[in-house]
């Protein structure tokens, strides 16, 4: 029998150590379950959900502001005249410029004759005046000032037409595929249109992207130049949970309203377009909001930055990667069914360094029973740099044996 020398044993020792590490450590590190959802303390009676209400309107949408789930809809993508709902985009772009630091709230905006002469609803600014940006933003949102909208368009883009081009670029960026703007006011034009779904999407961005400006939308009155005007959103007086957003009317558009309300931490957005009167748009919006709050709830499943998994990484300066989500994850579900929520992680196999922070490495699917109610990308929450030479060689050997042994159990 051949006897191995001590030098031969020393050469075999690293391979033996690799095999031992494979036996004593788990091979499949890519499929742990996500953190469990809290279970109810006692059995709950499932809420029976009726069909959504039918409204006296051309189109409508009810959306949760956090999850983006649409709870009720009718002709949501029909292209209709938006009237002064247009000013939601005008205001959004003003808020965007304020947040970016490109303009300041106390910047003085000169009022041109064109702005002063613009027809329709007015803030009543005068030719030659210099009006602070903050005052014009209030005039756009609260009293739907066409004169204020044109003045801001001229200040930001040099005119109403180039400003409309910017509006269209941002509409495309936000995924508003059934929207096209010809002006910043909503005054009628054959090529000026939007949809209920697009208006809900825009409202969601106004609420979530620039929350520091959102308080303007709940103000009931605005005074400028000694003239006091009320906000035309009647729900602000009728429902304490309603805090926005904007009304609109032209003969072609009918009476429109984008409203939002928050109750017990749940925020809903309703859009109704093409109703017959001011009272009708308020009543129909109230029906949608009442339905959503009565029969649904929105749950926060994961916090931004939550670590949902730590899969094995090969060839890196560390062996594990923290995987999770880069924003809060909300899901809107029928009331009293939260115990049916499950999440499944699908993480890319054989993760190899280098991996950059923010790189997508998989996806998460959330189900309510058998129904898929949401999907989110899974991202690397930290970078993993390439390991040193010997680390990479060691990982290649270990990976070879992992794949080899894994094949025996297929």
Q: Is 121 a catalytic residue?
A: no
Q: Which helix (H) or strand (E) holds 364?
A: strand 360-368
Q: Which residues contact 355 (CB under 8 A, 6 or more apart)?
A: 313, 316, 321, 361, 380, 383, 384
b vs e for 121-148, b when ≥16 Cβ sit within 10 Å of the residue's Cβ?
Answer: bbbebeeeeebebbbbbbbbbbbbbbbb
Residues in the chain: 410
d(CA 108, CA 95): 16
Q: Which residues contact 296 (CB under 8 A, 6 or more apart)?
A: 64, 71, 266, 332, 333, 334, 335
Q: Which helix (H) or strand (E) holds 243?
A: strand 242-250
Q: Which residues contact 153 (CB under 8 A, 6 or more apart)?
A: 90, 159, 160, 163, 164, 184
User: What DSSP string describes 44-90?
Assistant: -PPPP-PPPPP-SSSEEEEEETTT--EEEEESTT--B--GGGGHHHH
The owner of tokens 């002709």 is 75
Name the packing angle between helices 87-100 and 146-157 (round to 10°): 40
Which residue in 67, 87, 195, 270 is the catalytic one? 87
Q: Is 246 a catalytic residue?
A: no
Which residue in 67, 144, 194, 270 is the catalytic one? 144
- Which token pair is 268? 């809903």
Which residue in 84, 121, 194, 260 is the catalytic one? 84
Q: Is 6 a catalytic residue?
A: no
CB of 27 within 8 A of CB of 405? yes
Q: Which residues contact 101 (CB under 8 A, 6 or more apart)?
A: none
CB of 366 within 8 A of CB of 396? no
- Active site residue ranges: 84, 87, 144
């Amino acid at each position: 029998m051949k006897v191995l020398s001590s030098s031969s044993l020393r050469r075999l020792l690293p391979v033996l150590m690799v095999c031992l590490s494979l036996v004593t450590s788990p091979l499949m590190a890519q499929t742990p379950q996500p953190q469990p959802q809290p279970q109810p303390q006692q059995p709950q009676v499932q809420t029976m959900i009726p069909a959504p209400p039918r409204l006296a309107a051309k189109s409508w949408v009810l959306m949760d502001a956090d999850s983006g789930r649409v709870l009720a809809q009718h002709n949501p993508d029909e292209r209709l005249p938006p009237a002064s709902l247009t000013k939601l985009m005008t205001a959004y772009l003003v808020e965007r410029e304020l947040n970016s630091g490109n303009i300041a709230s106390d910047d003085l905006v000169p009022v041109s004759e064109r702005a002063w002469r613009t027809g329709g609803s007015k803030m009543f600014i005068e030719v030659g005046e210099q009006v602070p940006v903050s005052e014009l933003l209030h005039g756009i949102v609260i009293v739907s000032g066409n004169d204020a909208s044109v003045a801001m368009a001229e200040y930001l883009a040099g005119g109403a037409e180039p400003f409309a081009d910017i509006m269209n670029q941002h509409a495309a960026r936000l995924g508003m595929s059934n929207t096209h703007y010809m002006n910043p006011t909503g005054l009628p034009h054959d090529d000026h249109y939007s949809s209920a779904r697009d208006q809900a999407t825009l409202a969601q961005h106004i609420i979530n992207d620039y929350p520091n400006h959102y308080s303007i939308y709940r103000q009931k009155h605005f005074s400028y130049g000694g003239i006091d005007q009320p906000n035309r959103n009647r729900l602000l007086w009728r429902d304490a949970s309603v805090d926005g957003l904007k009304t609109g009317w032209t003969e072609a558009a009918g009476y429109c309203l984008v409203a939002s309300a928050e109750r017990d931490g749940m925020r809903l957005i309703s859009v109704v377009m093409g109703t017959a009167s001011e009272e009708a748009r308020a009543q129909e919006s109230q029906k949608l909001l009442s339905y959503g709050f009565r029969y649904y709830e929105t749950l926060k499943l994961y916090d931004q930055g939550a670590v949902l998994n730590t899969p094995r990484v090969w060839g890196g300066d560390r062996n594990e990667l923290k995987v999770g989500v880069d924003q809060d994850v909300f899901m809107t579900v029928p009331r009293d069914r939260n115990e049916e929520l499950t999440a499944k992680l699908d993480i890319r196999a054989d993760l190899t360094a280098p991996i950059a922070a923010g790189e997508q490495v998989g996806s998460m699917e959330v189900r309510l029973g058998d129904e898929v109610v949401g999907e989110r990308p899974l991202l690397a929450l930290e970078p993993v740099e390439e390991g040193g030479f010997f680390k990479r060689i060691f990982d290649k050997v270990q990976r070879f044996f992992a794949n080899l042994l894994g094949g025996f159990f297929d």
